[in-house]
Amino acid sequence: MFVLQLFEENRWYNFDDNHIAPINEEEVKSAAAYVLFYRRDPKEKKSNLLKLNSEYNHLQRIRRVAAMATNRPRFPTAAFLLLLLLLYSKNALHPTLASIEEGEKREEFTEELLLKPLPDRKVLAHFHFQSSAPPSAANGRHHYIFPKAIAQLVRKFQISELELSFTQGRWNYERWGGFDPMSITNAKPTGVELWATFDVPLNEIDYTWKNLTHALSGLFCSSINFLESSAAYSTPSWGFHSNYSNLRYGALPREAVCTENLTPWLKLLPCRDKAGIASLLDRPSIYKSHYHSQRLKLISSKLVGIILEQTLSVVLQPSLRSNSPVSFNAGSLQPSWSVNSLFGKKVTGHCVLAKVSRIYFELEKNLASKVDELNPLNSWNNSVLELLEVPSREFRELDASSNQGSSLLYEFEVSFSNESTPLNIGIHWKLPLIWSCPHAPFRVSRYLMGSGNERGSIAISLQSTQLHEWFLTTSDGCAVHVVIFQVVPWYVKVYYHTMRIFIDGKAHIISDVVRKIQISPSEDKLSPGSMELMLRLPCNIHSATVIVDFDKGFLHIDEYPPDANQGFDIPSALVTFPDFYFSRRYQLDDSMQYKSTLLSKFQESNSAKRYTEVLLVPLTTPDFSMPYNVITFTCTVLALYFGSMLNVLRRRVGQEERLSKSKGTSIF
């Protein structure tokens, strides 16, 4: 016998075999029963109580209680309902709660920040956030920390790997570094760059790419949907990435970057910018910087699930006012700075959902070696510099060749900070120091040659940095390989048969220098032109130049942008040095409770690469004011013509004279 009592009514019901019948209190008193308190809406019909039958099996697990007599004191309604809820949750909902706990344990989020002084008196701030979700079979379509919008993108478009970047400014490889983890993985070209690989059939890749561009455009409030046209994206074979036949690449060098792109990017974080390291992201400080690049990278597989990496690299100029009392030329003294002076905020706590929340302060190899020459007792507080906060740990970089420390890394735990004891990391310089960042084997530049609006040439120049100790000796002699990947719009008609290669100012035969080449000629209004070129250069060269000629096409008047007289942008070319790999490893101790995702990225071996400048090509543009001038002139002539003609046809001179005489007026 299953007894049910309504809260709103002092009546009892027998609920058994889809049948509800009222019973009296004597019947309840005479038999033990399962009692369920159910609050019914007064407007609800009693027939709706039949819905409870589907939960009958679960209700059998509820603790058995005796039927309450009218003369026996009852439990308080709220307390008894809470007791039943706890018992029901422990038994009936145990599998669900277990799956929730398991999903929460498997989904992870980390937040880290790297601060580094630069030789040209600027500061690099690199924010690194990483979210991971287990395979979908583990927790279905439900997520607890991982952003649902990204998971839906991965499932809908079958994305294997994706990278999207919004960049303003250009990374200075000579002053900020060209052969370090930051320049290799986080230095991006100006504007928007997007590439993705898909796990779909080859005949569906282009259709999937177009839909993906529209989805990303709406998600990040940008013009990424302009990459849907086949004339805006290319299909690299091996020059840009590994040998992927399902890879698509597109770039918008003129795309403006603003807060509308940063806000949805921050919404992907569990705590957004309300808590943790992301709370430092002050909009005015970011967008007045010399360089900033926000990046999003996705990696998805059936074994590891989805890994979302979000980075924001900012190069800031601290205040040039020196706080040092030492009297010497202030031009050679690095400006002192802190997190509060850079972003206008201090770190007052971590994101409670973050498994790792740390801030790192790095001293480059050349800077750290000059500090070590003074034999200080303390590397973070000495006669040269002083850190404003005491670091939690200190790490030394491992040099694979000599097994000696080089760069210095200081770690600060954000979880130790709060509103009363905020974290204000910074540096105070006491003596002037001059150092340089590591450079890549070659300096790369790209420029235009020729004059006029009809034809010209594109030149890619390589200048050796004379760092011969990095060159590798291969089986085919001492040589260095250079891979060039370049995409040009269809209206820049490149003639690849005119390619010329000069080494140290002397022309060389193409077949002697080019080891591998892949050319995709452009088609008018259908596809851009792309060039993938692998060069084999001798180790002792000083310079090398690759030149190709092109003609300038004509556009329809509807295809010109509003600022057509400014010129048309050609996306940056990517130059990769596959013989030179770089990774940075630190002497980490066993006391680190959680593994750092940022330092793990530094430990990955990546080949050196550089993006060239964006080229501005002037094209022949029509006089857009001519239609206005023609319309104005034509309307003026027609007005004068029709006005004079109508005046002659409709004006009656004799009648006007008679009317004037009749009124006693004279006509002059």
Describe the strand order of the beta sheet including 385-387 as a list of residue ranges. Answer: 337-338, 426-429, 385-387
> Which of 407, 429, 451 finishes a domain?
429
Do 422 and 309 reside in the same domain of the chain? Answer: yes
Q: Is residue 99 a part of any domain in this protein?
A: no
Q: Which tokens is 265 given?
A: 């990017």
Residue 97 lies in a domain: no
Beta strands in 317-404 (DSSP E): 337-338, 356-363, 385-387, 393-398
pTM of the predicted model over 0.85: no
Distance CA 629, CA 659 (A): 44
8 domain-assigned: yes
Mean pLDDT for 372-389 is 83
Domain extent at residue 452: 442-586+597-617
Q: Read off φ and ψ for residue 640, nearest 5 degrees.
A: -65, -40
Q: In CATH, what number is assigned to the domain containing residue 528? A: 2.60.40.740
Same domain assignment for residues 459 and 310: no
Q: Are residues 273 and 406 in the same domain?
A: yes
**101-160 tens-digit pLDDT:** 444 458 999 999 999 999 999 999 999 999 999 887 555 678 889 999 999 999 999 999
- How confident is the model over 32-54, as pLDDT tens digits? 444 444 444 444 444 344 344 33
- Confidence grade of residue 406 (pLDDT, cut at 50, 70, 90): confident
| Residue 243 domain flag | no
Q: pLDDT at position 593, please? A: 57
Domain boundary among 92, 119, 141: 92
Dump pLDDT digits (tens) for 249-302. 999 999 999 999 999 999 999 999 999 999 999 999 999 999 999 999 999 998
pLDDT in tens, 206-246: 999 999 999 999 999 999 999 999 999 999 988 888 667 78
**Residue 121: which of 502, 451, 552, 435 has the closest Cα?**
435
User: Is residue 233 one of the residues assigned to a domain?
Assistant: no
Mean pLDDT for the stretch of residues 434-450 = 90
Question: Where is mean pLDDT largest: 310-314, 333-337, 591-595?
Answer: 310-314
61 lies in the same domain as 184: no
Determine the straight-line distance between the first and last CA of the chain, rounded to whole angstroms: 120
The amino acid present at 276, given as its one-letter code, is: G
Element (H, E) at 341: helix 339-343
pLDDT digits (tens, 9 = 90+) for 488-504: 999 999 999 999 999 99
Pick the more confident residue, 478 or 292.
Answer: 292
Q: How many CB atoms lie within 10 A of CB 24?
A: 9
**Cα–Cα dist 167/193, whole Å:** 9
> Do 610 and 479 share a structural domain?
yes
| Count: domains in the chain | 4
Question: Per the domain annotation, does 212 fall within a domain?
Answer: no
Same domain? 179 vs 314: yes
Mean pLDDT of the chain: 81
Q: For residue 485, what pLDDT band results from cuts at 50, 70 and 90?
A: very high
pLDDT value of residue 16: 52
Its sign, for the CA torsion 324, 330, 334, 336, is positive
Tens digit of pLDDT for each residue in 14-27? Answer: 555 445 566 665 55
pLDDT at residue 137, as a whole number = 58
- The reply to whether 196 falls in a domain is no
Strands 506-508 and 492-503, how do they pair? antiparallel
Directed axis angle between helix 77-91 and helix 94-106, to 10°? 70
Tokens of 467: 């760092």
Residue 577 identity: F
Q: Are 485 and 422 in the same domain? A: no
Which residues, at least 6 apart from 500, have a Cβ–Cβ distance to it below 8 Å?
A: 507, 546, 547, 548
Statement to judge: residues 613 and 631 lie in one domain? no
Q: Is the four-CA dihedral 199, 200, 201, 204 of positive or negative sign?
A: negative
**What's the longest Cα–Cα distance across the chain?**
126
User: What single-letter DSSP state applies at residue 539?
Assistant: T
- Domain boundary (34, 68, 92) is at 92
* Whether residues 483 and 375 fall in one domain: no
**CA–CA dist 15, 53 (Å, integer):** 8
- Please compute the mean of the pLDDT values over residues 422-435 and round it to a whole number: 91
Give, for 299, the enclosing helix (H) or strand (E): strand 291-301
3-class DSSP assignment, residue 96: helix
Q: What is the mean pLDDT of residues 302-310?
A: 92
Q: Are residues 110 and 88 in the same domain?
A: no
DSSP secondary structure code for residue 265 in this structure: H
Q: In the numeric block, which tokens belong to residue 198?
A: 């898909």
Do 649 and 610 belong to one domain?
A: no
Residue 26 confidence (pLDDT): 57
Span 319-336, mean pLDDT?
A: 59
Place of tokens 């022949």: 620
> How far does Cα 332 stand from its chain's mean position?
35
Residue 304 lies in a domain: yes
The CA distance from 211 to 204, in Å, is: 11
Q: Which residues neighbour 77 within 8 Å (Cβ) at sequence distance 6 or greater?
A: 7, 37
DSSP states of 601-650? HHHS-EEEEEE-PPEEE------TTHHHHHHHHHHHHHHHHHHHHHHHHH
Q: Read off the pLDDT of residues 60-91 as tens digits, 9 standing for 90 and up.
A: 333 333 333 333 444 445 554 444 555 455 44
pLDDT band at 93 (very low <50, low <70, confident <90, very high): very low
Same domain, 409 and 479: no
Q: What percent of the chain has pLDDT over 90?
A: 52
Report pLDDT digits (tens) over 613-660. 999 998 888 887 788 888 998 999 999 988 888 888 877 767 767 777
